[in-house]
Structure 1
Amino acid sequence: MEPVSPRLSRNDVLAFQFSSWYPRFEHASIKSSIIRPLGEDFRRYMLADGVRIPDGADGTDEEADQDVDDSDDEEPQERFAFPEVDAKIRQAIEDYGADASWILPPSSPLRCSAPSEVYMLLKSSDFVLHDVEEESVFEGCTSDAEREVPRYELELVLRKWYHVDPSREFRCFVRSKKLLGISQRDQNFYPYMTEQETRKKIVDTIEKFWIREIQRIWPTEDYTFDLILTRDLESGHIVDFNPYAPRTDPLLFTYDELFMLRTDSHPTPVLKTIDSGSHEAATRSSPANVHNMVPFELLSMSSGQTLDDFTRDWQREIERSMKEDI
């Protein structure tokens, strides 16, 4: 019996690396800059314990303060500096504008305006480490015995920020070059998605976009792509591509369900959304991956403090931000 999802080779996985697909889909995606390659020292930095900013990343020539105990029984922590990467990050920030998605409190946006802030976000993410280790990137892949496999290199992708309405984000599943299913990405209930006319428009727009922009260009038969629709639901922008495999979250589907959709030969893609506030998948007020949604100011202020000290200082920071916005 045919497997529910196809086996992946190393070449298959490399097709989903950002630098592999973005040049072909730049016109239909979000404006981005790719810094590549990053080198072995950058890999060591990402794997090093602690949240430590590389020297010079804050825009000064002074060395960062030591944040480790320099006692005789403690080895000094390795220091890192990436001046060439810093320069490219600063250029991207200048090109795109100093915008960021963190907002706490709502009236005071916290802006990414220096390489140090980018490093802080990278070091605070659990997901980034998956892409750092080659073993995890190619886990479960078949061998490419008779094909030359390009070397896997780390790359840093900087994307122009703009407000993203999570109610217009969708993940789309393609198997054997057929668009099978479309899932709402954000796990919350949006009443507008229950309207039949709106649902039909979402499916029609995504299917037409896929046929026009992706179907004849994407190199593999099996893949998923994430799309954010425009406010009028008439078009969209490509956010990312991922393998059609268990490593990619099927969201409101299961891969068994998608397999059945393929064998049942549905005439149009099936749209799955959360149809009520009581839906079992609805997280309501708790965003997905909330443990990674932590502003870098919070992380930097918390080092070495008790809970009471940190709570007091964080409250002062919020009050200061609010006063500056008045």
Structure 2
Amino acid sequence: MSSDDLFPDASRAYIEAFQFSSWYPAFSSVSPKATVIRPLSQEFRRYLEDDGVFVPEGADDYPQESTLSDSDSDSEAGDAEPGKSYSFPELDAQIRDVISQYGAVFPKLNWTSPRDASWVVPTLKCKSPADVYLLLKSSDFISHDIDSSLAFEGCVDDEANGQDNGPQNERPPHDLELVLKKWYSMDPSREFRCFVRDKRLLAIVQRDINYYPHLNETDTQEKIKRAAIEFWEQKVRGKFPGGGNYVFDIHMTRDLSSAYILDFNPFHPMTDSLLVTYEELLDLYNSEGLQPHLHTVSSPSHPAAARNAPANQHNAIPYDALQLSSGVDIDSFARQWEEQLKTSQQESDEE
């Protein structure tokens, strides 16, 4: 079976349709509140590409106190590696303004969120520009969004527009955007990924690969299927600007009667198919008249649950190994870290 059968052709224009700023205006009424800051500067791109995890000067909302003497500070500044100092006062101000409106935010770039960096900002809840930058700098995932050769990997020429994008490494760079979503406490057992090909909803798949007994109750499964299908038919079908091939993530309401959209992803190898394979999705696509299938983790011994080690633990590094810029010394970062942990725990308890 060839990959041509498994996936529809993907052009650069098709992938661009999945940038947050491309689809959000059409679905803002059924999505969490969000603000898009674009385009980001080339200097900010260089900051994200630079080695190490460090915070730009002025981004931290905590007092910049240091236990170092003036002579120690001068000595360390003199030994610092050139090119490691960044400052983004305008972006800092924009982020602070959004946080003042939303209370807290969850950041992402054009397509990808830094879910693999939850170890550095608990619950991915950002209350300062420094939190946002630390999440982005600590994430491996967002490298996909920074590098055009990764973002548009596997694309064919955009024949519809008469464009020849050339080899992957010659593709023109794309503008980066910073998305700040209003932070909500979400129940991962109510998150689902829905696969649509040629305007047909093929499957509804549990997004968090852990075993939840209630998701295997017949009545619960019927509610989930009914709500997901109805939501797609009424709120999504025919409205996605990128055409009829897409994958969308939803979060169900507490009573499982409706949903709202978390994200759109391309029907493409870069999108994790979770509990199904793209071969199985192709079989469903070739089977006319079938209702969408619901896939959940059926038992603690399910292969997906059994292999589900702590998420992204490969990306976690010891706290004292973080490289900090001159804008944040180790004592300031320690206070910030402890305060963030306490605040997140208190708010989680309240919610």
TM range (shorter): 0.7 to 0.9
Q: Call closer, same or farther: CA 1:127–1:95 in 2, change over 3 Å.
A: same
C-alpha root-mean-square deviation of aligned residues, in Å?
Answer: 3.6
For 2:186, the equivalent position in structure 1 comes to: 164
For 1:244, the equivalent position in structure 2 comes to: 267
For 2:89, the equivalent position in structure 1 comes to: 83
The 5 A counterparts of 1:138-217 are 138-145=152-159, 147=161, 152-217=174-239
For 1:10, the equivalent position in structure 2 comes to: 12
For 1:23, the equivalent position in structure 2 comes to: 25
For 1:307, the equivalent position in structure 2 comes to: none
Distance 2:340 2:103 in 1: 24
TM-score by length of 1: 0.83
Matching of residue 41 in structure 1 with residue 64 in structure 2:
no
Deviation of the 1:135 alpha carbon: 1.1
Cα contact 1:277–1:284 (8 A) shared by 2:
no
Cα contact 1:14–1:152 (8 A) shared by 2:
no
Q: Call closer, same or farther: CA 1:319–1:256 in 2, change over 3 Å.
A: closer
Larger RCO, structures 1/2 (Cα 8 Å, 6+ apart): 2
Distance 1:270 1:206 in 2: 11
Cα contact 1:187–1:283 (8 A) shared by 2:
no
Q: Call closer, same or farther: CA 1:287–1:230 in 2, change over 3 Å.
A: farther
TM-score by length of 2: 0.77
For 1:231, the equivalent position in structure 2 comes to: 254
- Percent sequence identity over aligned pairs: 45
For 2:103, the equivalent position in structure 1 comes to: 97
Deviation of the 1:172 alpha carbon: 0.4
Aligned length: 307
Long gaps (5+) in structure 2: 67-72, 107-114, 164-171, 324-329, 347-351
Distance 2:96 2:339 in 1: 29
Matching of residue 222 in structure 1 with residue 245 in structure 2:
yes
Matching of residue 55 in structure 1 with residue 78 in structure 2:
no
One-letter amino acid matched to 1:44: R
Deviation of the 1:58 alpha carbon: 1.7
Deviation of the 1:114 alpha carbon: 1.5
Deviation of the 1:98 alpha carbon: 3.7
Distance 1:114 1:231 in 2: 30
Cα contact 2:247–2:266 (8 A) shared by 1:
yes
- Tell which deviates more after alignment, 112-121 or 249-258: 112-121
One-letter amino acid matched to 2:97: Q
Deviation of the 1:287 alpha carbon: 3.6
Distance 1:9 1:266 in 2: 29
For 1:133, the equivalent position in structure 2 comes to: 147
Deviation of the 1:161 alpha carbon: 0.9
* Residue in structure 1 matching 2:297, options 265, 274, 295: 274
Deviation of the 1:281 alpha carbon: 0.6
SS of equivalent residue, structure 1 residue 278: coil
Distance 1:44 1:63 in 2: 27
Deviation of the 1:116 alpha carbon: 1.0
